[in-house]
Amino acid sequence: MSPSPAEPRTIAGRYRLENALGQGGMGRVWFARDEILGRDVAIKEIVPPPGLTDAERREMRERSLREARAIARLNHPNVVRVFDVVRTTPETDPWIVMEYVASRSLQDALAADGPLPAQQAAHVGLEVLHALQAAHRAGVMHRDVKPGNVLLGEDGRVVLTDFGLATVPGDPNVTRTGLVLGSPAYISPERAKEGTSGPEADLWSLGATIFAAVEGQSPYARATAIATLTALASEPPPPPKNATGPLKTVLTGLLRKDPAKRMTAEQAEKLLARAAAQPTRTVAPAVAAKPEPTRLDLSRLNPEPSTSETPPAPPPPPTTPRFTARQRWYAVAASVLIVVAVAVTVPLLSDRDNDAGASGKPSATPTRVATSAPSASPSSSRSPSPAASPSAVSPSAVPTDGGTLPAGWHVFTSEDYSIPVPDGWSKSTEGGMILFREQDGLGRVLGVMSSEVTTGDPKAALAEQEGEQSGKSGYDKLKLDTVDYRGLPAADWEWLYTTGNGTHMHVLRRGIIANNRFYTFSWYVPADEWAANQDGLAVVAGGFQPRG
């Protein structure tokens, strides 16, 4: 495409237009030459679609200026740079002069070559995450992260571009009430439902973009915008088929529908770095879809349950499906308006927006516990587990009546406490801790302990235990902090470690002071299955009852 005769070939006396690189709903991007500095640049021209009112044209103009201001706040190698904003006359629309990156978009790469290898997808995701972290530190929300806005440079650089929908502190939001701008296949549930645009919304879009990179399409790709938004409201994200280990954990964590339970940027960065460093592996066929789990925060508990350094070997892989939490989103018919990429009037959703697996209620098949032994002592292998994201299930879960436990659970009662336990798990005692072990499947473990109070601070009690673990194999502390648990003094300790047989484990331990006793319960799960086992942890936390 070349400029039409009516269009100036030189802008502001210095930028010579060469050829159009692309065109979208808001304008056209040109490859141009800066005649003064002698460098190639990209210039974004605002081209309002026909039929807009003067007010709508002003809105487009403001949006383009907001994009320039947003990018100008950033100075990061993974963000395209803005050099200048010029007008041919004071009344005309602005031209945004930007850095030219010899590249193709991730969307074009997927269309031409298919999904990326998992290691490369993790690398691309990590670079985009770095761009978002820089933007969020500056108070800028991108709001339109998608493969079409990720450039894969010929020199290997990954660049996030098109901040046209970004929000900048101090600038009014020019988006009209009732409209959500963005691409439905990559928009977060909270933006679709309420129009909110915090960092968590960008992280959801990043997760959907990485999912598309490794799977070939977004998790909610449908034939129409309304079908996409309906699926977003009513269906859990599909499990990735081409991602395992830390990359799979990232996708599960970033695509949690509840932004409060979504993986943080810091957690995702750590896991993506691991995934990007791992050689690409052939992935086995996908198993049944896993529901989106709720996240619990149980990093603290009592003294070490066992002195054993090496936990039992993990049992064979499970043959039964994982938890399927019931969906509670219902979409009501909504109108769709295409503006720019897509402007959508979002379907009304019910006020119960717990996504699959986030309800805290598991199905008849209980969740699974770690293959490693209940002892907090890791094995001799030093590699930390891939699931490095602290859990975030409600720390103040309401006690569960034993008569209303999910199918597949029962209540174990001792003289000191009662606690929900999955059916069929064996019971043993090690180092004063009662251990309930899954006999098949993942070999998860639930550990419970009651002891005399030695300090009134549960965090300090757990910190003492944590000190004994810091030198163990693969130990990686994720969290150690106080939590709100029914008004009782409580704290959580969450960590990773590696068993003697090389299994990476993820553990959450909660310590509670009640009735002059210190109680701890611990949930052990293989690290790459952690996200899929949060419902079981929620049942345990909600049903645990000190006695006395």
- Residue 453 pLDDT class (50, 70, 90 cuts): confident
- Residues 83-95, mean pLDDT to the nearest whole number: 80
Among candidate residues 446, 427, 430, 314, the one with its CA nearest the CA of residue 371: 314
State the pLDDT at residue 457. 92
State the pLDDT at residue 538. 92
Q: For residue 461, give the H/E element and its range.
A: helix 458-469
Q: What residues contact 55, with CB distance under 8 A and at least 6 apart?
A: none
pLDDT at residue 13 tops 80: yes
- Residue 548 pLDDT class (50, 70, 90 cuts): low
- Residue 508 pLDDT class (50, 70, 90 cuts): very high
State the pLDDT at residue 182. 62
Q: Which of 130-144, 161-175, 279-293, 326-340 is most confident?
A: 130-144
Which one of 84, 113, 144, 353 is the catalytic residue?
144
State the pLDDT at residue 280. 46
State the pLDDT at residue 40. 95
Weakest mean pLDDT among 117-121, 149-153, 245-249, 441-445: 441-445
Q: What residues contact 318, with CB distance under 8 A and at least 6 apart?
A: 368, 440, 441, 442
DSSP 534: H
181 versus 300: which is more confidently predicted?
181
- Residue 302 pLDDT class (50, 70, 90 cuts): very low
- Residues 374-382, mean pLDDT to the nearest whole number: 37
Entry pTM: 0.52
What share of the chain in percent tops pLDDT 90? 38
pLDDT at residue 339 tops 90: no
State the pLDDT at residue 532. 85
The answer to whether 491 touches 300, Cβ cutoff 8 Å, is yes
**Cα gap 511→456, rounded to integer Å:** 11
411 versus 48: which is more confidently predicted?
411
pLDDT tens figures, 459-493:
999 998 887 776 678 888 899 999 999 999 999 99
- Residues 21-33, mean pLDDT to the nearest whole number: 81
Q: Could you confirm whether 353 is annotated as catalytic?
A: no
pLDDT at residue 314 tops 80: no
**Cα gap 188→144, rounded to integer Å:** 10
- Residue 312 pLDDT class (50, 70, 90 cuts): very low
Structure tokens at 64: 């383009």
- Residues 436-463, mean pLDDT to the nearest whole number: 87
The answer to whether 384 touches 472, Cβ cutoff 8 Å, is no
Instruction: Return the amino acid letter for 208.
Output: A
**Buried (b) or exposed (e) across 137-146, using 16+ Cβ within 10 A?**
ebebbbbbbb
Among candidate residues 422, 544, 427, 530, the one with its CA nearest the CA of residue 486: 544
Among candidate residues 132, 139, 213, the one with its CA nearest the CA of residue 170: 139
The total of other beta-carbon atoms located within 10 Å of residue 67's CB is 24
166 versus 399: which is more confidently predicted?
166
State the pLDDT at residue 293. 34
pLDDT at residue 502 tops 70: yes
- Residue 305 pLDDT class (50, 70, 90 cuts): very low
What's the mean pLDDT when you consider all of the chain?
A: 75
62 versus 160: which is more confidently predicted?
160
- Residues 92-110, mean pLDDT to the nearest whole number: 90
Please give the full DSSP string across 481-529, using - where no structure is assigned: EE--BTTB-EEEEEEEEE-TTS-EEEEEEEEEEETTEEEEEEEEEEGGG
Q: Which of 121-125, 181-185, 425-429, 484-488 is most confident?
A: 121-125
State the pLDDT at residue 384. 37
Q: Which of 370-374, 380-384, 405-409, 457-461 is most confident?
A: 457-461
Structure tokens at 115: 């999904």
- Residue 26 pLDDT class (50, 70, 90 cuts): low
**Cα gap 517→509, rounded to integer Å:** 16
Sheet with 39-46, edge to edge strand ranges: 10-11, 15-23, 27-34, 39-46, 95-99, 82-86
The answer to whether 141 touches 160, Cβ cutoff 8 Å, is no
**Cα gap 44→94, rounded to integer Å:** 9
531 versus 59: which is more confidently predicted?
531
SS3 sequence, 342-389? CEECCCCCCCCCCCCCCCCCCCCCCCCCCCCCCCCCCCCCCCCCCCCC
397 versus 270: which is more confidently predicted?
270
Please give the full DSSP string across 11-32, using - where no structure is assigned: ETTTEEEEEEEEE-SSEEEEEE
pLDDT at residue 46 tops 60: yes
The answer to whether 409 touches 340, Cβ cutoff 8 Å, is no
What share of the chain in percent tops pLDDT 70? 70
- Residues 80-85, mean pLDDT to the nearest whole number: 87
162 versus 355: which is more confidently predicted?
162
pLDDT at residue 80 tops 50: yes
**Cα gap 376→507, rounded to integer Å:** 8
CB < 8 Å & 24+ apart, contacts of 30-39: 30/3, 31/100, 32/97, 32/100, 34/83, 34/97, 35/10, 39/100
State the pLDDT at residue 164. 61
State the pLDDT at residue 501. 73
Among candidate residues 542, 372, 516, 388, the one with its CA nearest the CA of residue 443: 372
- Residue 390 pLDDT class (50, 70, 90 cuts): low
pLDDT at residue 331 tops 70: no
DSSP 271: H
pLDDT at residue 35 tops 70: yes
Among candidate residues 165, 138, 158, 176, the one with its CA nearest the CA of residue 52: 176
Sheet with 476-482, edge to edge strand ranges: 426-430, 433-437, 445-452, 517-526, 504-514, 490-498, 476-482
pLDDT at residue 91 tops 50: yes
The answer to whether 201 touches 145, Cβ cutoff 8 Å, is no
Rounded to the nearest angstrom, the gap between the alpha carbon of residue 481 and the centroid of all alpha carbons in its chain is 22
pLDDT at residue 306 tops 60: no
